[in-house]
Amino acid sequence: MPQRHQTPTVRLRQLARALRQLRESSNLSREGVAEITSMNRATLYRIETAQVRPQVRTLKTLMDVYQVTEPRRTELLTILKAANEQGWLQTAVDLPEQYATYIGFEEEAQRILNYESLFMPGLLQTEEYARAATAGTGPTLPKDEVENRVVTRMSRQERRDPPLVVWAIIDEATLHRQVGGPRIMREQLQRLIDVSLEPHVTLQVVPFGVGAHPGMRGSFVILQFPEEHNHDVVYIETSTSDLFLESQEDVARYSLEFEHLRAVSISPDATRDLIADVLSNMK
């Protein structure tokens, strides 16, 4: 029987991305690294695309070539040690690193399915809404950290070629919660209308009239990757931890939940009409 292909874990994908970035920041091609280390170029490619888990000595060799110093060396070795484990839960102390990991996955994703119950989707936020939301939900965050997160969020919205395909579903409550005040919300609602007309964005609202629905349990993102990156990942953010789910069972469960939400939501055209109505009545 043919050998079953193993799904790359979140940690293995994170390690692969880190090694690609280290090589590129060292201004080395795969051919150049292969020459220096006598490593097969195809093996290096498979390591950098998370198709294989490198051996410890291979990782140490690559870190030597890229002149990686502590504490980064220990971090990468720790990631490698846990690279076969599925699922990833960390405490809020590591939140900036987790967020960086999510952004890395988002950059590689081909399509994302995003349900939000309380906020506007990050990729659809205006700068002022993002600032008000970040400061409001993190009252102890220093101002420079708030600004760093806002700048990062805005940079995520820059167009790619091809652009990231986004299917966003939001609860109607997000349209009425005046994050930052009326002026900021009016600009945010207009932004939703404008961006929803772009061909790579689909936006739907779950109306109040639906009553109880699966999304009431919380927001989530499903990141869908091109074939060469293998299986999808579910990302869930909370105030105390971030969770990456990658088992086929978990991805299937959240994919089905998204389908249920899509079915009870109003159409994209009706969504624009609803947003325009809320906007016209906002004081």
Rounded CA gap, 214 and 216, in Å? Answer: 5
pLDDT surpassing 80 at residue 3 = no
In tens, the pLDDT along 164-206 reads: 999 999 999 999 999 999 999 999 999 999 999 999 999 999 9
The reply to whether 4 falls in a domain is no
Whether residues 135 and 261 fall in one domain: yes
The reply to whether 1 falls in a domain is no
pLDDT surpassing 50 at residue 94 = no
The reply to whether 199 falls in a domain is yes
Burial of 276 (0-12, 13-18, 19+ CB in 10 A): middle
Whether residues 54 and 157 fall in one domain: no
The reply to whether 77 falls in a domain is yes
What's the full length of the chain, in residues? Answer: 283
Whether residues 141 and 233 fall in one domain: yes
Residue 90: band (very low, low, confident or very high) from pLDDT cuts 50, 70, 90: very low
Q: Which of 30, 59, 81 corresponds to the end of one domain?
A: 81
Which residue segment(s) compose the domain that 230 sits in?
Answer: 88-281
Whether residues 92 and 227 fall in one domain: yes
The reply to whether 5 falls in a domain is no
Name 116's bridge partners.
170
Rounded CA gap, 3 and 87, in Å? Answer: 23
Sign of the alpha-carbon dihedral angle for 121, 101, 11, 49: positive
What percent of the chain has pLDDT above 70?
A: 90
Q: Which of 54, 81, 108 corresponds to the end of one domain?
A: 81
Tokens of 124: 């659809």
Instruction: Confirm if 192 and 137 have CB atoms less than 8 A apart.
Output: no
The model's pTM: 0.75
Q: Which of 38, 60, 81 corresponds to the end of one domain?
A: 81
Residue recorded with tokens 């994919």:
255
The reply to whether 2 falls in a domain is no
**Pairing between β-strand 111-116 and β-strand 201-206 as defined by DSSP bridges:** unpaired
Residue 167 CA from chain centroid, whole number: 13
Of 59-68, 129-138, 204-213, 237-246, give the lowest mean pLDDT range: 237-246
Residue 246: band (very low, low, confident or very high) from pLDDT cuts 50, 70, 90: confident
Instruction: Report the number of distinct structural domains present in the chain.
Output: 2
